[in-house]
Structure 1
Amino acid sequence: MGKVSGHKRRDRDEDEGPPPVPAGKATLGQLTSHISNKMVRSETYAKLKHKQKKQKKAERQKRQKEAAKAEQLGLEPPPKKIPKTLENTREKDETMVAGDDDEVRADEAEDEFAEHFANMRPPNVLLTTCYKPSGIMYKFLADMLEVFPCAQYYKRQGFPLKKIVNYATNRGFTDVVVFNEDRKQLNGMLVIHLPGGPTAHFKMSNVVLCKDIKGHGRPTSHKPELILNNFDTRLGHRVGRMFASLFSQDPAFRGRRAVTFHNQRDFIFFRHHRYIFEEKQKREPGEKEKRAAVIARLQELGPRFTLKLLSLQHGTFDTKGGEYEWVHKTTMDTSRRRFFL
């Protein structure tokens, strides 16, 4: 039998037609996957991609013209399309908390952090480290002591954590925060709420010291404001309340300091800023001359790092007999759109 030419093979692939695809809009890969010839498949994919780009550009220009026309006529412009992201397409979680959930309010009124939020027990934090901290750790601790005005550093000196917890409880500390490092890389943070827990273990990454942040400022001794973003589930609420228990409930707004824990896709980004008000000359749209206007901007103070919750344990630190509320396992990562906080 003779060889089949490329043209005949192309005709046969195109005649077969695309295979059935799932309900909904088919992707370009699904539309071209039935073509067995690699060169023909690549050419067809490129043509479809180019056609798709032209169509999107035409639709975008049409929307822009409609919006400009509506603005000229003083009408309300058409609604903007909301792009799909992992956040707004996340899998539905039964533990998502609504703002007016009476059951959650009742639980939080009696949990371990209730005294803190009732201003009955002001924060008093003990900071310590792993057994043999490096110079990097001491620089990081110096930065964190400026973040927590109500914190004190105690050297580890080879004591086990259980003894440190007992010591801190007997001396009126409300929390113990332990930072860990491996080969001069900070890689972990343990937060223990006293006297009865809970205990949260976080993986720490992307640590940047204050001195390594370009244009950073120096914090004052004022109590900072606390900003908690996107802690929306029952577990997220619990972790957020644990972070809030480390800071005072009466921030000094005169200091203009703000500490942020921003949760995005179960990664918690820590940032420390000062907001600054400046008077600048600004020209408004349609005006010829500039005029004075007060503009707000942020100056980062540092440090910055990223946290990932590994476990949340009932009670204080206990690796052998402790009961865990939540533990992260690799089997949980079944979807990119599944988040727990």
Structure 2
Amino acid sequence: MTRLYASLDDDELFAGNDADEFSSILKRERDSEDIDHFRFKLYRGPAFISELLQVIPNAHYYKRGTYDLKKIVEYAKKQDFTSLIVVHTNRREPDALLIIGLPDGPTAHFKLSRLVLRKDIKNHGNPTSHEPELVLTNFTTRLGHRAGRIIQSLFPQEPNFRGRRVVTFHNQRDYIFFRHHRYIFETKESKQSDSKGKKGKDGKGEKISQQKVIARLQECGPRFTLKLRSLQHGTFDTKGGEYEWVHKPEMDTSRRRFFL
């Protein structure tokens, strides 16, 4: 189950769901399977990819080497992968994600920032192999709904709730905040009080304790922020590809105008 929070009063927002590129995956007609690539030896890149593989079930890692991205796309199609994720780096630091839906696109380019690895998160938890629940919040526009569907297609549509894992993509002012948590249930004892505010006692004068279950979240990591830079029809093509949407610097002049 995926929880996608959007504006439900616009029927046109959801009208194309049955016919878009992700419908076969999200209807479970095809199993979601992802492939990750990166090219260079990175400083935090290998650790980030390792944690990303633990977030996205059925994901496989392949070193890109010097292969052209178009050839990688064709190879992934033949292997029946549903998505291709490319981790881009700048000065040995991950700074962008390219998500390509297979076999027919679209291609989304996200800027990646504020990356925090698991080891740097205080009191972090370790995720299990259970398939997580996916929560998408505040993707309220047509473009936002489209971006949400791209993200949704990366994850299986039948989470295993026994694992108590939840992956969240929260859109706020066109910045998509990623968090990965697990639920923790703790049993604590509390002293029972009577109606007058005095501590309750049994017939022998001993204090009565009562157990209650407290739920909390433990972050598993990684933690990062995404910002959509472009959305392209079809698979990756920098020369002849058509773009559904491209971010331009002049779009940032108004603080009240948002696109997702």
Give the TM-score, by structure 1 length.
0.69
Q: Which residue is 2:227 aligned to?
A: 308
1:293 aligns with 2:201: no
Q: Is structure 2 residue 84 aligned with structure 1 residue 165?
A: no
Partner of 1:51: none
Aligned equivalents of 1:254, 1:174: Cα separation in 2: 26
Shift of residue 99, structure 1, vs aligned partner: 1.1
Instruction: Structure 1: state its 5+ residue gaps.
Output: 1-96
1:125 aligned residue: 34
Residue 277 of structure 1 aligns to a residue whose secondary structure is strand
- What amino acid maps onto 2:35 in structure 1? L
Give yes or no for contact 1:133–1:181 (8 Å, CA) kept in 2. no
Aligned position for 1:99: 8
Query: 2: distance between equivalents of 1:183 and 1:118?
Result: 40
Distance in 2, Cα, partners of 1:163 & 1:255 = 37
Amino acid at match of 2:249: T
Q: Distance in 2 between matches of 1:277 and 1:291?
A: 16
Residue aligned with 1:248, SS: coil
Q: Which residue number corresponds to residue 89 of structure 2?
A: 181
2:179 equivalent among 258, 271, 275: 271
Q: Deviations over 1:209-247 (max 9, x none)?
A: 111111111111100000001000000000001101000
Distance of 2:91 and 2:109 partners within structure 1: 19
The separation in 2 between residues aligned to 1:172 and 1:283, in whole angstroms, is 59
Q: Which has the higher strand share?
A: 2
Give, in angstroms, the shift of residue 288 of structure 1.
Answer: 4.4
- Relative to structure 1, is the Cα distance of residues 283 and 114 closer, same or farther in structure 2, using a 3 angstrom cutoff? farther
SS of equivalent residue, structure 1 residue 306? strand
In 2, the alpha carbon distance for the partners of 1:243 and 1:288 equals 54
* Structure 2 residue 25 is the aligned partner of structure 1 residue 116: yes
User: In structure 2, what is the equivalent of residue 7 of structure 1?
Assistant: none
Out of 247, 251, 254, the residue aligned to residue 328 of structure 1 is 247
More helix by share: 1
- SS of 2:30's equivalent in the other structure is coil
Give distance in 1, aligned partners of 2:48 and 2:41: 11
Contact 1:223/1:248, CA 8 A, preserved across alignment: yes
> How many residues are matched?
244
Q: Is the 8 A contact 2:35 2:81 kept in 1?
A: yes
Partner of 1:340: 259
1:150 aligns with 2:69: no
Q: 1:100 Cα shift?
A: 4.6
Letter in 1 for 2:235: T
Give the structure 1 partner of residue 3 of structure 2.
none
Cα 1:283–1:113, aligned 2, differ >3 Å: closer, same or farther? farther
Of the two structures, which has the highest relative contact order with CA contacts closer than 8 Å and spacing of 6 or more?
A: 2
**In structure 2, C-alpha distance between the alignment counterparts of 1:264 and 1:283, rounded to whole Å:** 42
Q: Over residues 282-318 of structure 1, what are the superposed CA-to-partner deviations in whole Å (9 max), with x where a residue is unaligned? A: 4799754463221110000010100010000000000
**SS in structure 2 opposite 1:214?**
coil
After superposition, the Cα gap between the structure-2 partners of 1:284 and 1:316, relative to the gap in structure 1 and judged at 3 Å, is: farther
What residue in structure 2 maps to residue 211 of structure 1? Answer: 119
Q: Distance in 2 between matches of 1:283 and 1:115?
A: 54
Identity of counterpart residues, as a percentage?
58
Whole-Å separation in 2 of the counterparts to 1:268 and 1:190: 15
Q: Distance in 1 between matches of 2:142 and 2:103?
A: 22
User: SS of the residue aligned with 2:48?
Assistant: helix
Residue identity matched to 1:261: F
Cα deviation for residue 267 of structure 1 reads 0.5
**What root-mean-square deviation, in Å, do the aligned CA atoms of Structure 1 and Structure 2 show?**
1.7
- Normalised to the residue count of structure 2, the TM-score between the two structures is 0.89
User: Per-residue CA shift, 1:244-265, capped at 9, x if unaligned?
Assistant: 1000000000000000001111
